[in-house]
A and B are shown apart, each in its own frame.
Chain A
Amino acid sequence: MTKRDALLFLFVGVLILGTGVVQSWNSALFILNYGLISAVMALGVNMQWGYAGLFNVGVMGFTALGGLGAVLVAMPPVRAAWSAGGLGVLGALALGLAVIVGAIWLWRTMPRGRLRGVGLLVWLVAGFFLYRALFDPAVRAIEAVDPAATGYLGGLGLPVLLGWPVGAALAAGAAWIIGKTALGLRSDYLAIATLGIAEIVIAILKNEDWLSRGVKNVIGVPRPVPYEVDLQQNADFLALAGRLGLDPVTASTIAVKLAYAGLFAAILLMLLWLAQNALHSPWGRMMRAIRDNETAAEAMGKDVTRRHLQVFILGSAICGLAGAMMVTYDSQLTPSSYQPLRYTFLIWVMVIVGGSGNNFGAVLGGFLIWFLWVQVEPMGMALMQVITSGMADGSALKAHLMDSVAHMRLLTMGVVLLLVLRFNPRGLIPER
């Protein structure tokens, strides 16, 4: 890190502290915590794009899978639902997997020819109907169990921190499937395939009520840190708050956010340390060599497609981890809140503005762009008020402009990305 980089980080720190002084410490900590999560996501995307030049447009999908991981581990199991259809669903899923594995085996072992095609088709169709015959009644049974409160299988009831690696593993699994299909072909194909898987993951979360309660949302995901109400009952905490001159409610919300900040910062620092070591190891140099000249790297005996698959899975797993962290922080999973703009595009803006190929750049971009994302809306609102101040109250145009402020974010972020790509493509902290 050079002096300039340190100054940039200091600048972001001042921005966040300034929010605390001018607005409130609660919003400053909110920006800080989400900034930490965003920085983790940006690190993941930076591995794919910055180290290896892979274009992943499905960050949203991997993030959502990570969130699902946290829910599946941490939520208490719904015993009634398990006894109603748990085994049925698991059996159906196992059968589905077996059908796919069997199809691959058939494809590999049978001799080429019409028989193979027909056999495969019959196998898949029969497998599909068998799967649905097992799956549908089990799902109906599960979703009938107290649909207003549960109607899903629930999780394993384990500590939520265990859900973070599980979320990362889920994302890694999806990345493996995509990578196996689209890597080794044109670079655009990976982009299109990841775009597709992200939409499908969100569709599954929204529609498979037995798994994620769909649009009814999973709320009350257990926390790794104390609850505000408990803190407000705690005599020691109340004494501490009194000594600092804070009222207990504010003090408890700030304390909880600080605890999260510590947890997230520890994860981020650990990942940053690992990423830095990886980038400056022979492995990192090989990755960059592949990115800069695939043909030369292949001539040196490097298996380009395999290395790409490896780094793609790694990066996606980190996005999944960030997704699990986010669901834990929000303590809810709301499938309808996953928007490609917020979870894919914004992360890309972070990486490119921060400096692709540089881990510190990605982290800086994560904080800076997140800060702007939060603060641009009130600024845009103020700006629009100035612009429309000359217009008569109640005019249709004024009302329309005020309503449209929310869409300014899309425009601003798109313009920021294009400007940076054009005039400063190496970003704030360039690769060294």
Chain B
Amino acid sequence: MELLNALVTLANFVLIPATAYGAQLALGALGVTLIYGILRFSNFAHGDTMAFGTMVTVLGTWWLQARGIGLGPLPTALLALPLGIALTALLLLGTDRLVYRFYREQRVKPVILVIVSMGVMFILNGLVRFIIGPDDQRFADGERFIISAREFKAMTGLDEGLAIRTTQGLTIVTAVIVVGLLFWFLSHTRTGKSMRAFSDNEDLALLSGINPERVVAITWIIVAALATIAGVLYGLDKSFKPFTYFQLLLPIFAAAIVGGLGNPLGAIAGGFIVAYSEVTITYAWKKVLGYLAPEGLAPDGLVQLLSTDYKFAVSFVILVIVLLFRPTGLFRGKAV
């Protein structure tokens, strides 16, 4: 019984939230890693691209909600998501045309592209704050829980409850579908294959008649979809605040680098590694240990390794360790 209670507490406070968070990070890191593979630079504007896509979706959700259109138990945001993806794709294609293409044709050093992406980041950041303001916005609706803690307790008779929020379930299901689609696209379609070829060896790809501009455009569209979905899922799960999305840049980059920049499989693994480390290290283990420890030996303190204010330090430490010991990442990305 004690063991079961400990396991349920662990699942409730660590495993489920970390899995949802990991899925969100993985989707974000996939976007970063795709841009790195095809366009060969670290896109600092990615966090704010996520914020932009989410903002459009939030506005669409509010419009739908005002008209009384909803999805019943599921969040209305899912209906507004295609709009968010479409506008974000237009935005990214527009910035590519106006900003990045010029530098691509000049074949500048990657660091220049990074600086340029920082400029784009601030424009997007300003745009989002200008339109929706810098404050927290909640836009989740529908059923709140798949299983609430009380139902779970009544069902199993345990002391501890296990709550699975709709948004957490939705995040995991969506992430699985999106990742499946992406990998199918990359390995089974002609366009996907040409993207991989372009990423592996640009010169050879050009020689075999692949149109680079088309590959780049398709990459941006996929990235827009990934970023918007990741942003909306994160916003549904927590809340939407432009500055938080800027701060997500660090865990997302950490995830992409841990897995190996340019390697999609690595980005997914990296997302979960970062999320699990962050949640386990900032979780207060008092309750779980209380169930596991023998009578009288239960810990007095919170047994929290780091306060949640330092959660970014966890991503950072992971990043430093990877850079020190294996700069190409766990899955052998292309960057050194």
**A404 within 8 A of partner (CB):** yes
Interface size on B, residues (CB 8 A): 49
Question: Cα distance A418–B115 when bound, in Å?
Answer: 9
**B73 within 8 A of partner (CB):** no
Q: Smallest Cβ distance from A140 to chain B, in angstroms?
A: 11
- Contact (Cβ within 8 A) B127 A411: yes
**Chain A contacts of B62 at CB under 8 A?**
none
- Contact (Cβ within 8 A) B42 A418: no
Q: Which of B42, B310, B312 contacts A188 (CB 8 A)?
A: B42
- Contact (Cβ within 8 A) A418 B99: yes
- Contact (Cβ within 8 A) A186 B115: no
Q: Which of B42, B247, B310, B327 contacts A185 (CB 8 A)?
A: B327
- Contact (Cβ within 8 A) B118 A203: no
- Contact (Cβ within 8 A) A410 B125: yes
Q: Smallest Cβ distance from B133 to chain A, in angstroms?
A: 7
| Interface residues of B, dominant DSSP | helix
Q: Smallest Cβ distance from B320 to chain A, in angstroms?
A: 5
Q: Which A residues, 155 to 214, have Cβ-Cβ distances below 8 Å to chain B? A: 181-182, 185-189, 191-193, 195-197, 199-200, 203, 206-207
Q: Smallest Cβ distance from B99 to chain A, in angstroms?
A: 6
- Contact (Cβ within 8 A) A182 B323: yes
- Contact (Cβ within 8 A) B129 A404: yes
Q: Which B residues, 283 to 335, have Cβ-Cβ distances below 8 Å to chain A? A: 301, 305, 307, 309-310, 312-313, 315-316, 319-320, 323-324, 327, 335
Q: Which A residues, 108 to 154, have Cβ-Cβ distances below 8 Å to chain B? A: 128, 136
**Chain B contacts of A409 at CB under 8 A?**
126
Q: Smallest Cβ distance from B266 to chain A, in angstroms?
A: 15
Given A188-B111, A189-B323, A207-B307, answer yes or no on A407-B126 (Cβ-Cβ < 8 Å).
Answer: yes
**Chain B contacts of A412 at CB under 8 A?**
126
Question: Cα distance A185–B110 when bound, in Å?
Answer: 13
**B114 within 8 A of partner (CB):** yes
| Interface residues of A, dominant DSSP | helix
Q: Which B residues, 108 to 123, have Cβ-Cβ distances below 8 Å to chain A? A: 109-112, 114-116, 118-123
- Contact (Cβ within 8 A) A57 B110: no
**Chain B contacts of A411 at CB under 8 A?**
122-123, 126-127, 130
- Contact (Cβ within 8 A) A414 B122: yes
Q: Pick out which of these stretches binds chain A: B79-87, B197-205, B249-257, B272-280.
A: B249-257
**B142 within 8 A of partner (CB):** no
**Chain B contacts of A422 at CB under 8 A?**
99, 102
- Contact (Cβ within 8 A) B110 A188: yes
Q: Which of B122, B246, B319 contacts A196 (CB 8 A)?
A: B319
The 10 A-B pairs with the shortest beta carbon distances in the complex, nearest first, are A410-B126, A411-B126, A414-B123, A414-B122, A196-B316, A188-B42, A407-B129, A417-B119, A187-B111, A418-B119
Residues of chain B having any CB pair with chain A under 8 Å: 41-42, 44, 99, 102, 109-112, 114-116, 118-123, 125-127, 129-131, 133-134, 246-247, 249-250, 253-254, 257, 301, 305, 307, 309-310, 312-313, 315-316, 319-320, 323-324, 327, 335-336
